[in-house]
Amino acid sequence: MCRDHRDLSEEHLNLINTNFKKLHGNYLNDVQRNILKRCYDDNLTYEELAQELDFTRPTINGYAAELWTLLSTLFKEDVSKTRLRGAVDRYIDSSPSETPRQNVKIFISDRTNNSNSDKVQQLQTAIQETGQETIIAENWLECSPEELAECIAFLAIVSSNSITESDILNQEIYKARKLRQNRPGKTLGIVLIHAESLLSLPLNHPLHQKLQGIPQLEWHSDTSLATLMAEIEHSLKYQQQQNRDALTDLIDNLLRLNISDNWMLTYVGENQLSQLGYLVRDLRNQRIQSGYAYWGVGPTLMWARACSDPTYHMSENLRQFPLYARNLARYVDHEQYNFVSLGVGEGSKDRNIIKDFFNRDENLKPRDDFLYIPVDMSLDMLRMAIGRIQELPSHRRIAIQRNIETQDGMRQIAHIAQILGEEKPILYGFIGNTIANVEVPEQVLGNIVQVMNTRDLLLFEAQIIDESALEGDWLEATIQSVREEYEGRSFRQFAFSALLQNSDLSIEPRERNLCYEVEVSLQTWQSSQILQIDCLFQNNTDRDIFLTFSDGDTMTLNFGDTISLYRSRKFTKAALENFIQAKNLTIVDTSTYLSYRNTGFMVMMLQRQTN
């Protein structure tokens, strides 16, 4: 072991000086940290330390052999830890470090209509002299995704002659803005440079709107190149810092608020009046889409009641979930990940996830910068979920009201989460059988996968049914059992709640029960068998039923007419696994339980495939 009874010889000091000065960049910091911490704090032998740092492979700037010799010599000589600490500190502090050059590019689009091509060349040369690679893009719109991924700035050069190029410039600016929006954390600077003469556009030209907020510089014959370069650099730095500074100020101000935990900080991403219009439109078409079944105060209250009813499967699921989900917590680094919950339900599962996946130990809260982002269409569902997470301060519980079933909605959710979460990896939660209740499961899961980064994880849960329960004589008994489950009083009240909240349906409770139907059918899905459950309102009375909706429109339901209230599914394990793998996801691990009814839940830890 490293011992303190012998001084470090001058020969060893020179050897340290020679070899540590040869290390460069980030690896120098790794060596310093590992030698000072691993050797001194953990009392490793030099040989163990060398093996851990993998000095036996000659890949570290060509000096692995010398470092191996150094560490071996120090090990044999039993040199002083204290003296070695001082030597390493002294020589590392005096050693120059080199930052590896990043593979990034600045794109220059010349839209001067060839009037100032020499200036464009001068600008490219000046930028390249700073060590930055530039590309003059004849058509930036045709650049490959690989090239665009390396782009850190887009400079558009224009002049009075650019009016003929305004349409293509309009498209380029739009694409640059879209690229910046879709890759949070990697800023794309956009600057418009007027060379010699100003670009003049008609007042109603669409490019005016695209250019709002974009820095515009003037480059005249008497403007030195150095001055222009300084202005460009200032503009790019300002754009890089603008969002981050605003976010920092916002969080600082939130910390100063002395308000109760009952307040909820929420990004509202849907126009609620428009959402009501969509719901009424669906009611006219005699159906309620899945997201609207939970939308509003009434459905939220009734869902919470259904989840506590032992005759409905969610009661057992809520009790079992912490027991089998925590088996997957080891895949989440609680010091790095934030948590985004997609479709929060009544929120008790999220509380368990935060406790089991993100607490540093059983008695501590998550780290100080941990961020919890619940997402749901229903503001009332979000309110209920947030209310269960009192362990976090309000600025670490930021809700998003948005429909997760749309591609744009999921992109915006991920964008907000990545920016607010300071680009830390995300654990997405898609639990509670939400996948079974959405309109198009394939599309919804595909939207989630598209926004996941390589380090992101997806905690995924769905209800499963044993394949044997769907075979032969067991099928009829299984269908009857499932029908009874969804005909229970509490779930029936939940299924009716959206219709009752958004119309003047005024029939007696006895008649309402007679008009509630549950259809359970065996369906082929993803080349496998699943059970599909449809909950319906059917006019089984002896008269026509007249409905008035919240916007004043009316509808007549004749005898036998139906309104689809709710749809769910129960998957076989094989169907679920095939579905997951077909969506470019890797199953990292699973945890499953089945009840006496041959149904249960399977929770998976998933990761996006990298190839």
Reference 306, options 403, 432, 478; nearest CA is: 432
Integer CA distances (angstroms), 256 to 125, 267, 423, 586, in order: 49, 20, 24, 43
**In the chain, pLDDT over 90 holds for what percent of residues?**
33
Place of tokens 């009952």: 262
Place of tokens 């004749």: 558
Q: What's the token pair of residue 183?
A: 């890759």
| The pLDDT value given to residue 265 | 85
Query: Which residues have a Cβ under 8 Å from the Cβ of 390 and sit 6 or more positions away?
Result: 261
Coil/strand/helix, residue 43: coil
Reference 53, options 29, 81, 85; nearest CA is: 29
Least confident of 1-10, 386-395, 451-460: 1-10
Adjacent-strand bridge partners of 591: 603
- Predicted TM-score of the model (pTM): 0.63
CB 410 within 8 A of CB 404: yes
pLDDT band at 580 (very low <50, low <70, confident <90, very high): very high
Q: How many CB atoms lie within 10 A of CB 550?
A: 14
Burial of 200 (0-12, 13-18, 19+ CB in 10 A): middle
Query: Which residues have a Cβ under 8 Å from the Cβ of 26 and sit 6 or more positions away?
Result: 100
> Which tops the pLDDT comparison, 594 or 452?
452
**pLDDT of 272 strictly over 90:** no
Query: Which residues have a Cβ under 8 Å from the Cβ of 553 and sit 6 or more positions away?
Result: 280, 284
* Interatomic CA distance for residues 91 and 262, integer angstroms: 55
Place of tokens 């470092």: 67
| The pLDDT value given to residue 27 | 40
pLDDT band at 589 (very low <50, low <70, confident <90, very high): very high
Give, as one character, the DSSP assignment of residue 34.
I
Write the DSSP string, 447-512. Answer: HHHHH--TT-EEEEEEEEE-GGGGSTTHHHHHHHHHHHHHTSHHHHHHHHHHHHHTB-----HHHH
User: What mean pLDDT is predicted for residues 98-123?
Assistant: 70
* Interatomic CA distance for residues 413 and 347, integer angstroms: 18
| The pLDDT value given to residue 368 | 85
* DSSP H or E stretch at residue 409: helix 407-420
* Interatomic CA distance for residues 366 and 350, integer angstroms: 13
Q: How many CB atoms lie within 10 A of CB 77?
A: 14
Indicate if the alpha-carbon torsion angle 438, 439, 441, 444 is positive or negative: negative
* Interatomic CA distance for residues 127 and 225, integer angstroms: 10
pLDDT band at 44 (very low <50, low <70, confident <90, very high): low
Reference 610, options 579, 585, 587; nearest CA is: 585
pLDDT in tens, 527-551: 888 999 999 999 999 889 999 988 8
* Interatomic CA distance for residues 604 and 509, integer angstroms: 41
* Interatomic CA distance for residues 134 and 144, integer angstroms: 15
pLDDT in tens, 488-514: 999 999 999 999 999 998 888 888 889
Integer CA distances (angstroms), 84 to 19, 41, 56, 95, in order: 14, 14, 21, 16
- Using alpha carbons only, how large is the chain's radius of gyration in Å? 31
pLDDT in tens, 223-240: 888 888 888 888 887 777
* Interatomic CA distance for residues 601 and 464, integer angstroms: 5
* Interatomic CA distance for residues 44 and 1, integer angstroms: 7
pLDDT in tens, 356-368: 999 877 666 888 8
